[in-house]
Structure 1
Amino acid sequence: WLNFAPDHLDWHGSLVNYQRAKAAILERTTGFCLYRREEPISRTLIEQADVHEGCRAIGTTVSVPALGEVGVVDGVIVDRAFEEDRRERAVELATVADIAGGVTEAGPVVANALTAVALARTCGVEATAIQQGLRTWQPQPHRMVMVARTASLVFVDDSKATNTHAAAASLAASDRVVWIAGGLAKGASFDEIVTAHRDRLVGAVVLGEDRELVVAALRRHAPDVPVIDADKPDNSPMDLMRHTVRSAAELAQRAASQGPVTVLLAPACASMDRFRDYHERGELFCAAVAELI
């Protein structure tokens, strides 16, 4: 269980129902339950789950691991969960620098890598194989991938960020951002994400059916951030994305005199209102950026 945040509320009806549905996956687990220390609700639900006798809870953390965790010490990924003498020492598995892929920011990627490392360790995979796997890994498309860079702008595709929790991780990766957001909100609120990251925002471009929810949150919590409504539902998906990217680039160029700006597609929403899926949304973003650059 890697995280829990409001999502799919249009389907589940409430956050409580959504939590119950996710918690059900833990029932009758026989071997290991993995959780992130930075997501305390996950550990709590694992402790409450009806698992088989002997099932172990294994934590991961992007900081120094406690006993029973996999974590990071001075840039080294270490295991304090699976070795017999784990109370006395930590086993070095790889380094953060081993993680390949050209991603834009270490935090979320390292967190995901630690979970993969812990999962591999549950299967007895040796440290040398884990290191090789991290070195050869490549990110899947549309997951915090830098698609272009100019002297002052960086364009990042995180179309897979279909909820506010994922989008918040993307926003946290950059200091100054023009945020492309909107789509199908699935019952989510945007107040928390805007409040948490308003100091990073130098502009926002909105699109999609529920874009006004994003605009309303920006007006409440970041009224000085310039916002462009780029939505043109009668246009083709490519024309819509082309207009969106150009609008975002214009805002970014205005702000670039104060320092580099990231144009970030992290919509915090599902895509099916204007695009076939998040993959098409990301592909068209990349194509529109390529045209612009």
Structure 2
Amino acid sequence: MQSPADFAGRRITVAGLGVSGVPAARALAGLGARVTVVNSSDGERERAQAAELEKLGVTVRLGDGDTLPEGTELVVTTPGWKPASPLFAAAGKAGVEVWGDVELAWRLRGPDAADWLAVTGTNGKTTTVRMLASILEAAGLRTAAVGNIGVPLVDVVLGEGQPDGASYDVLAVELSSYQLHWAPSVRAHSAAVLNLAPDHLDWHGSMAAYAADKGRIYEGNTVACVYNAADPATEELVRAADVEEGCRAIGFTLGTPGPSQVGVVEGILVDRAFVENRQQQAQELAEVSDVTPAAPHNIANALAAAALARAFGVAPAAVRDGLRAFHPDAHRIQHVADLGNVRYVDDSKATNTHAAEASLAAYEHIVWIAGGLAKGATFDELVQKSAARLRGVVLIGADRALIREALARHAPDVPVVDLDRTDTGAMSEAVREASRLAEPGDTVLLAPACASMDMFVNYNKRGEAFADAVGELTARDH
């Protein structure tokens, strides 16, 4: 924790504009720092952001993200900048410290700052954080879902809290591996790592480095380190963490929980971690039917959120009420329509193989729409695990051949339609082909296992294209 006065007059370079860079630059300028923002791109949006910051006395250099401004005493980086960037190499050579925007927010907290309940993982972070915030609200606590979810922590820490001016009791904080890499001082009340699977390895350099950055979320936890009992790598991160005396390891499982775990018994979410006699007692928290959608991976998210809330002292009834009140964001295993006894589901957010595997596991018979930018991923394990569920596959996108080859190796009898096009209109043809392959009782599932940028601006636009294509089917049938 640092005094705002510590920043007055300091020469600070902010690396990057965007969702977190602009608030960081604005906040530092407000504290009296001499701020320069460097940004590699120089487009219309960046020029508009620069114009607003320059009104506050901030210097903005567009089109040059490699050169460290002369006299820089501290660099504050936005999450996307790779550790190997020339700017950071120059900072290291000059002995200049590099913080992320989350580190800056942590150091700017006041003496009565709200506790952080933090969540990371390869998949499920946003859903879990929003579930957690819903549970905390149901308990009557002043809270917000913040961080990588799109709400900059710097704004929250320096703001007035809620609209009525009251401060927060606790924050539900989503942290990405990028943010954790640059946040060595963050110490959460309790934290969860939901799962670990290869992702962003081009940024981190290796799976070991990626896991180590995820594991930073456990450092200094005071009450609970929540891990996935089905993912031993998350428990290993707990074992490696340096936590406060008395901090406990709490597992979540889709099976019957053991002592110090939360889990599921006969359709009931139960707690054997935060009860008086965890060897012999279990506390009912909610029913599986209280979780929407009640897909296995989403129940796991709910259990992780419940464990963090219980670590903060939330009553069981608030867990139930918060889960009932929660509704997931769009494009996350979202039911679009039922046509001819075939269900159409949009999980465009499944941008990697781990997320797609969880989505595919939620349905018995599937016509799978997949493909896009693979980001270096391989698909053999995903296809092997899901082959028995596949009624057919429709492939789109730049790297669809990688999935087609995995299907040929591990599911050779599954019909595959390979659409040799990457225009946005391909989704309409994909949905038409999927509807042709589907039989009554099947699910047509968009779970691409790939990023969207080869065809769409983002996964949201891809999901919207899917929904529009399903709507075209409805219109055609009527």
Match of 1:172 in 2: 361
Secondary structure of the residue aligned to 2:284 is strand
Instruction: Kindly indicate whether residue 299 of structure 2 is the aligned counterpart of residue 118 of structure 1.
Output: no
In 1, Cα distance between the equivalents of 2:420 and 2:312? 48
TM-score for the superposition, normalised by structure 2 = 0.57
In 2, Cα distance between the equivalents of 1:276 and 1:31? 41
- 1:12-31 alignment to 2 at 5 Å? 12-31=204-223
- Structure 2 letter corresponding to 1:151: G
Compute the displacement of 1:85 (Å): 2.5
Residue by residue, what CA displacement relative to the aligned partner does 1:247-275 show, whole Å, maximum 9, x if unpaired? Answer: 221222xxx1xx52211100111111211
Compute the displacement of 1:227 (Å): 1.4
Match of 1:68 in 2: 260
Compute the displacement of 1:231 (Å): 4.4
- Structure 1 letter corresponding to 2:456: F
- Structure 2 letter corresponding to 1:247: E
TM-score for the superposition, normalised by structure 1 = 0.91
- Residue number among 429, 445, 456 corresponding to 1:275 in the alignment: 456
In 2, Cα distance between the equivalents of 1:24 and 1:128? 32
Structure 2 alignment gaps of length 5 or more: 1-192
In 2, Cα distance between the equivalents of 1:231 and 1:163? 21
Give RMSD over aligned pairs.
1.6
Match of 2:465 in 1: 284
Match of 1:245 in 2: 431
- 1:49-198 alignment to 2 at 5 Å? 49-99=241-291, 101=292, 103=293, 105-198=294-387
- Structure 2 letter corresponding to 1:245: V
Contact 1:30–1:53 (Cα < 8 Å) also in 2: yes
- Structure 2 letter corresponding to 1:4: L
Instruction: Kindly indicate whether residue 229 of structure 2 is the aligned counterpart of residue 37 of structure 1.
Output: yes
Residue by residue, what CA displacement relative to the aligned partner does 1:179-223 show, whole Å, maximum 9, x if unpaired? Answer: 111111121110001111111112111111211111111111111
Structure 1 alignment gaps of length 5 or more: none
Number of equivalenced pairs? 282
In 2, Cα distance between the equivalents of 1:49 and 1:128? 32
Secondary structure of the residue aligned to 1:138 is coil
- Structure 2 letter corresponding to 1:92: E
Residue by residue, what CA displacement relative to the aligned partner does 1:162-181 show, whole Å, maximum 9, x if unpaired? Answer: 11111111111122111111
- Structure 1 letter corresponding to 2:324: R
Q: Which has the higher contact order (CA 8 A, sep 6+)?
A: 1
Larger Rg: 2
Residue by residue, what CA displacement relative to the aligned partner does 1:87-139 show, whole Å, maximum 9, x if unpaired? Answer: 3311112221222x3x3x53122111111111111121111221111222112
